[in-house]
């Protein structure tokens, strides 16, 4: 088995950026518990409301709002696995996500593609997905592949499935995809199970990871909850990402933004663990600050780096694997 060059490397070889103190992390955690219990989260999907209600949460069905008691949140954090083992179809990328380990992947998902042969900027195709997957496969320092571009020449209802097929055929590394329904997720899972030689092997080594997003502040949309629930039932890894914007969908302060992010993600984590205790889950964020002059989202803003570093500290405290967008 060829192992990722980063597997097992827990020593520090570069800059340590601790944005928060231990007391700061504790305050953010307590503020999050207060928000989840008193304010609650808006949940679109009826099945998710049922799972929260059966798990001891207070559910207002008319308002579609779920109030999550602190003990339920903290039990979900304890239930989530510390390490998620991943392996590509040739054993590459062994050890997909682990607390204390840093790894790299490309980000997703582009809708335009600059043809390297003609220079034309056009809508991306399934063939382009394969090209990007082969590129990532050749970059030894990347541990996994995330859907770089979409297979937009395929039907809208199945283009995520076509993208997964193209990725599986063109990279030996673990892959990530962001289907928008439980049905799409199951079909992608079935494709990966063929490559992994069965669902049991797929659960053990997590060849494929699924991801969705919250809607900040404090909303779990239907597509995200479908992915969380279906992933948990299958034993598939799910990455839930918050894209809270300081000054827009989150408070002006970084501390306030971190509370919104933490509330969004821990609500999703709780849903996953209430669905199937021990479900593999990755805490994700792609947050930044709103540029109020131009009403744009500068992902290279200093706030994005500070928020990412702070979230990494919070996840180390929780002993949860995490994904930070931007580098």
3-state secondary structure 33-60: HHHHHHHCEEECCHHHHHHHHHCCCEEE
The secondary structure of residue 15, as a DSSP letter, is -
Q: Answer for the pair 149, 109: CB distance below 8 angstroms, yes or no.
A: yes
For residue 100, what pLDDT is reported? 65
- 297's CB contacts (< 8 A; 6+ apart) are 245, 288, 290, 291
Please list, in sequence order, all residues whose beta carbon lies within 8 angstroms of the beta carbon of residue 187, skipping any fewer than 6 positions away: 158, 161
Q: Give the span between the Cα atoms of 222 and 31, in whole angstroms.
A: 26
Q: What angle do CA 131, 133, 139 make, to 5 degrees?
A: 110
CATH topology for 22-324 is TIM Barrel (3.20.20)
More confident residue, 94 or 113: 113
Q: Render pLDDT for 172-218 as a digit per residue (tens, 0 to 9).
A: 889 999 898 999 999 999 999 999 889 998 898 888 999 999 999 99
Query: Is there a contact between 263 and 270 (Cβ–Cβ < 8 Å)?
Result: no
237 pLDDT band, cuts 50/70/90, is very high
**Signed CA dihedral, 151, 214, 284, 96: sign only:** negative
How many H-runs (helices) and E-runs (strands) does the chain carry?
A: 10, 16
3-state secondary structure of 92: coil
Residue 263: per-residue pLDDT: 98
What pLDDT, in 10s, does the model give residues 20-45? 999 999 999 999 999 999 999 999 99
Lowest mean pLDDT among 75-79, 93-97, 99-103, 159-163: 93-97
Report the half-sphere exposure of 224 (CA within 13 A, side-chain side): 23
Strand, helix or coil at 184?
A: helix
* Residues whose CB falls within 8 Å of the CB of residue 246, separated by 6 or more in sequence, listed in order: 252, 253, 254, 256, 257, 287, 288, 289, 290, 303, 307
Report residue 132 as tokens.
């990007």
pLDDT at 97 over 70: no
Confidence band for 1, pLDDT divided at 50, 70 and 90: very low
Going through the chain in order, the beta strands assigned E by DSSP cover 41-43, 58-60, 65-67, 83-84, 97-98, 112-114, 121-123, 145-146, 175-177, 208-213, 219-220, 237-242, 245-246, 281-285, 288-289, 322-324
Structure tokens at 41: 């989260």
- 116-124: list long-range contacts, CB under 8 Å, 24+ apart: 123/152, 123/153, 124/149, 124/150, 124/151, 124/152
Asked whether residue 12 carries a pLDDT value surpassing 60, the answer given is: no
Q: What is the pTM of this model?
A: 0.90
Domain ranges for the chain? 22-324
**Full DSSP string of 253-281:** SHHHHHHHHHHHHHHHHHHHHHHSTT--E
CA distance 193 to 201: 8
């Amino acid at each position: 088995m060829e192992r990722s060059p980063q597997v097992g490397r827990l020593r520090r070889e570069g800059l340590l950026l601790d944005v928060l103190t231990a007391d700061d992390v504790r305050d953010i955690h307590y503020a999050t518990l207060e928000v989840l219990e008193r304010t609650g989260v808006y949940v679109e999907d009826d099945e998710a409301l049922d799972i929260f209600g059966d798990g001891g949460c207070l559910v207002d069905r008319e308002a579609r709002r779920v109030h999550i008691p602190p003990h339920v949140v903290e039990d979900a954090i304890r239930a989530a696995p510390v390490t998620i083992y991943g392996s590509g179809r040739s054993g590459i990328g062994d050890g997909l996500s682990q607390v204390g380990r840093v790894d790299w992947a490309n980000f997703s998902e582009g809708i335009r593609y600059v043809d390297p042969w003609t220079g034309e900027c056009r809508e991306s195709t399934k063939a382009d997905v394969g090209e990007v997957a082969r590129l990532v496969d050749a970059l030894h320092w990347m541990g996994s592949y995330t859907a770089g571009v979409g297979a937009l020449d395929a039907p809208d209802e199945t283009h995520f499935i076509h993208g997964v097929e193209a990725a599986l055929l063109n990279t030996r590394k673990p892959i990530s995809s962001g289907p928008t329904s439980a049905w799409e997720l199951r079909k992608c899972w079935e494709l990966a199970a063929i490559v992994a030689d069965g669902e049991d092997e797929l659960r053990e080594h997590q060849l494929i990871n699924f991801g969705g997003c919250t809607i900040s502040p404090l909303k779990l949309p239907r597509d995200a909850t479908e992915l969380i629930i279906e992933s948990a039932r299958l034993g598939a890894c799910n990455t839930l990402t918050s894209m809270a914007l300081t000054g827009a969908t989150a408070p002006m302060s970084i501390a306030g933004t971190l509370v919104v992010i933490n509330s969004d993600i821990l609500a999703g984590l709780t849903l996953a663990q209430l669905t199937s205790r021990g479900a593999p889950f990755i805490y994700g964020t792609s947050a930044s600050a709103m540029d109020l002059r131009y009403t744009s989202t500068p992902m290279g803003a200093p706030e994005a780096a500070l928020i990412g570093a702070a979230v990494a500290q919070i996840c180390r405290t929780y002993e949860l694997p995490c994904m930070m967008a931007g580098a």
